[in-house]
Amino acid sequence: MVSPQLLIARRRRSSCYFYPRAWPSLRGADWWERVVLKEFGPQDWLEKFRMSRETFFYICNRLRPGLAPHSAHFHPTLPLEKRVAVALWHLATNVEYQTLSPLFGVGPSTVQTCVREVSYAVVLLLKPLYLRLPDEKELENMVRIFRTRWGFPHCIGALDSLHIPINPPLRLSADYCNGQGWHSILTQATVDGLGQFWDVSTAFPGSMENSAVLESSSLWVLAKEGRLCPNPPKNFMGKAQKYVLLGDATYPLQDWILKPYQEDESLTQRQLQFNYRLKRAHSVIENAFLRLKARWQILLKCDDCSLELLPTLVLACCILHNVCEAHDNPFNEEWLEGTEPTELPKPCQPAPAAMEDGRAEQVRELMCQYFENCGEG
């Protein structure tokens, strides 16, 4: 059965179906120059690199300062564009190094080097442009988008976590075994109302709970320092109120993090309405994770990647997701087919009561009052 999140993700804008051409199986060192650069059409670029030709060369130009040709790791005849192409193809398809290497006429170790150095360059040079803390005007715009697109006021983001399956080092196997019994690294992310990431903390051991990851993340520090809202805070329902993030039951209730009321028979109609509004708005990050994994299928199972490289690789995929979304690159709905975690259910442990902020209940009550007064659907 297809999940509601998958159906919602399929209905997102810029979706398409297409059927790329079948290319001859014999390829070599000149296949990139002879076929890809000269014969690939828009659908081929999208299928193999998850982006348009124009976006691909835009990224290459942005990465040029970090991928200088004098690098000791590369043969001088391997062009920058070819290195980026090798890396993106691997991130998009999760094809093994040994399988990918004859495609471009390079050795498996060169493929590995391309993936590593391009990932580092993406984080170094594109992160300041595409994955950063919003300024005050950008926060105001994010509030507007959440209100108009998702019907949730005074909100700047949805918060959630993503477990990425890995083969852990034997000596650390227990640390990376999550609550569902499989090994993973944990990524905490926050997205805006358009599903673009603006905060990512990654590579936590899979055994950690979401609440513990939050408390160890830079997002927690930013919130405690008051850097997620204007100073003084904007008025909401007649009171000065910090902007909020939307989480699920695995996060602690704070005056800047809202989560649903615990479902039971005692909930009032106002509280049920609040839960409905929050869950609907929170689905934006569930959809973002689906699109992220569908585009960059390396995140479905990180077999060829070392534990040391994983944080950079995950960040690079989140940044590249933002680049594709910001440049309005089409999204092929068929990529979603393999992303549903039917065999690997997401670990889910409620946040400990000790982390809850008693004052935050007043914020939830204000939201309930807002929804009751506005009556928006």
- Asked if residue 180 is part of any domain, the answer here is yes
- Asked if residue 221 is part of any domain, the answer here is yes
pTM here is 0.89
- Asked if residue 203 is part of any domain, the answer here is yes
Q: Are residues 112 and 248 in the same domain?
A: no
Looking at residue 15, its pLDDT comes to: 43
- Asked if residue 188 is part of any domain, the answer here is yes
- Asked if residue 208 is part of any domain, the answer here is yes
Q: Are residues 214 and 123 in the same domain?
A: no
| CB-neighbour burial class of residue 222 (10 A; exposed 0-12, middle 13-18, buried 19+) | middle
- Asked if residue 327 is part of any domain, the answer here is no
For residue 194, the Cα-to-chain-centroid distance in whole angstroms is: 12
Q: Are residues 275 and 161 in the same domain?
A: yes
The Cα 67–Cα 361 span in angstroms is 50
Q: Are residues 86 and 196 in the same domain?
A: no
Q: Are residues 121 and 105 in the same domain?
A: yes
Q: Are residues 103 and 252 in the same domain?
A: no
Q: Are residues 124 and 162 in the same domain?
A: no
User: Percentage of the chain with pLDDT > 70?
Assistant: 87
- Asked if residue 139 is part of any domain, the answer here is yes
Domain carrying residue 97: 30-68+77-129
- Asked if residue 25 is part of any domain, the answer here is no
Looking at residue 22, its pLDDT comes to: 44
Residue type, 203: A
Mean of the per-residue pLDDT values of the chain: 88
Identify the band that residue 344 occupies on the pLDDT scale cut at 50, 70 and 90.
low
Boundary residue ending a domain (129, 155, 172): 129
* Pairing state between β 197-205 and 331-332: unpaired
For the segment 150-195, what is each residue's pLDDT rounded down to a tens digit? 999 999 999 999 999 998 878 888 999 998 889 999 999 999 999 9
Question: Structural domain tally of the chain?
Answer: 2
